[in-house]
Chain A
């Protein structure tokens, strides 16, 4: 009995969990690793800092924001996942990726014990979108792959578009001066 108790205690200690943020877009809940998110802001608080991008190459991105001398492209979560358009209230500013994601709400923080691999049956864009799936309180929740929001090619296109936005603003500033 003593040995079993020690074993189970050891087992509990060795079981690692991962902190995630559960967020919602429409009726769908997603999980993202907590350490992948640098900041969560309301869309209202970022409205004045957001710059509109008139570009059609990456339709899911309509704005960019400058944070700490970095340019973040704001991705519509609805457009990215092909969900019905909602009115996002929050922006998740990602840590490693120059992307921010519009979401509807934060459900809560959670600890997940396991991320299951996405079944091989899934062969579409979701292989880029998700690290895998987790099972939490009788729900299967997709776990986001942060670098899946924008591909390197999309970043290149958006960087070009951002330069032209910057050049236009400089020109407008010069004209006004």
Chain B
């Protein structure tokens, strides 16, 4: 494999949300956490289901299933913890958790551009085992939901 190919073929973590598979860049993923207790309290932030405590840190949980799958996911949940950037620099990143179903897989592949009509939160797609898997841009996914009237119960304080 040439140096150029090496640069392009990145590692991805494949995750299940609802009944679909998505991918996140492996370098952004911190860990797959067990289904620990979800703590919730009143807030008005969109998509946030609550927080979990992991390794002494309080980690916000983004319930992205309504945006990605159009409905809540009721399956027993693990949490995929990934870094989300705030602002421009890496120094302003924060760990966030996404509830996922089942086990995650590590895959290698070259990301292709997203479909022309794909939402902005799909950074591209991967062709793995004959399946086209959308690559998530976590920052855009969470931000985009602010303008999405279908993204869950968002207007009022939760719970």
A residues whose Cβ falls under 8 Å from a Cβ of B: 28, 30, 81-83, 116, 119-126, 129, 133, 135, 138-142
Q: Given A135-B58, A140-B53, A140-B58, do A124 and B41 touch, yes or no (CB 8 Å)?
A: no
B157 touches A28 (CB 8 A): no
> Given the complex, which residues of B lie within 8 Å of A119, measured CB to CB?
51, 58-60, 94, 96
> Given the complex, which residues of A lie within 8 Å of B96, measured CB to CB?
119, 121
B58 touches A124 (CB 8 A): no
Which one of B42-50, B117-125, B126-134 contacts A? B42-50
B residues whose Cβ falls under 8 Å from a Cβ of A: 37, 39, 41-46, 48, 51, 53, 58-60, 62, 84, 86, 92, 94, 96, 142, 156-159
Q: Which of A82, A121, A126, A140 contacts B39 (CB 8 A)?
A: A140
Name, among B39, B46, B84, the residue most crowded by chain A CB atoms within 10 Å (CB to CB): B39
- Minimum CB–CB distance for B75 against chain A, Å: 23
Give the docked Cα–Cα distance between A142 and B42 (Å): 9
Q: Which residue of A lies closest to B156 (CB)?
A: A82
A82 touches B44 (CB 8 A): yes
B142 touches A83 (CB 8 A): no
A126 touches B51 (CB 8 A): no
B142 touches A116 (CB 8 A): no
B58 touches A138 (CB 8 A): no
Give the docked Cα–Cα distance between A124 and B42 (Å): 10
> Given the complex, which residues of B lie within 8 Å of A135, measured CB to CB?
53, 58
B41 touches A28 (CB 8 A): yes
